[in-house]
């Protein structure tokens, strides 16, 4: 599966949702997640993210992100249409410690 990681927080560009063939992105207040059981591993979303926040779970230490994505994809609504990024997206791209900004 692919998963969304912390650099999505406070950016939420949403380019990713337009390309997913199975509509498995879910939207929180300032971040999206992927449902790991719905993702078919096609990989097309990864290069679409301007914040490089989408990673394959084959990279090291991704287990916590798979669990994180699963947890929130089960309670957040699906998102299938691109919208404007968050207003501070450009400024926030690449900032450290973004988990502190995460809001459910
Ligand atoms: Fe959707 Fe493919 Fe990205 Fe999985 S890898 S979230 S199926 S676009
Ligand atoms: Fe987030 Fe990147 Fe999608 S910033 S909303 S994972 S395009």
pLDDT per position as a tens digit, 31-90: 999 999 999 999 999 999 999 999 999 999 999 999 999 999 999 999 999 999 999 999
Residue 76 pLDDT: 98
Residue 73 pLDDT: 98
Mutation choice for ligand 1 from 36, 39, 57, CB with most ligand atoms inside 8 A: 39
User: Which ligand is nearest the CA of 82, by number?
Assistant: 2
Residue 69 pLDDT: 98
- The 8-class DSSP code of residue 70 comes to H
Residue 96 pLDDT: 97
Residue 61 pLDDT: 95
Determine the atom of ligand 1 nearest the C-alpha atom of 41. Answer: 5
pTM for the model stands at 0.97
Determine the atom of ligand 2 nearest the C-alpha atom of 32. Answer: 5
Cβ 78 under 6 angstroms from ligand 1: no
Q: Are 98 and 89 in contact (CB under 8 A)?
A: no
How far does the centroid of ligand 2 lie from the alpha carbon of residue 47, in Å?
Answer: 10
Taking the chain, what is the end-to-end CA distance rounded to the nearest angstrom? Answer: 22
Mutation choice for ligand 1 from 18, 24, 47, 52, CB with most ligand atoms inside 8 A: 24
Q: CA nearest 1: which of 38, 44, 30?
A: 38
């Amino acid at each position: 599966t692919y998963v969304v990681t912390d650099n999505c927080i406070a950016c939420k560009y949403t380019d990713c949702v337009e390309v997913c063939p199975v509509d498995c992105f879910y939207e929180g207040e300032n971040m999206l997640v992927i449902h790991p059981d719905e993702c078919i591993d096609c990989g097309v979303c990864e290069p679409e993210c301007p914040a490089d926040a989408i990673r394959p779970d084959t990279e090291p230490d991704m287990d916590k992100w798979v669990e994180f994505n699963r947890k929130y994809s089960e309670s957040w609504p699906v998102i299938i249409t691109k919208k404007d990024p968050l207003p501070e997206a450009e400024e926030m791209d690449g900032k450290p410690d973004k988990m502190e900004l995460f809001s459910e």
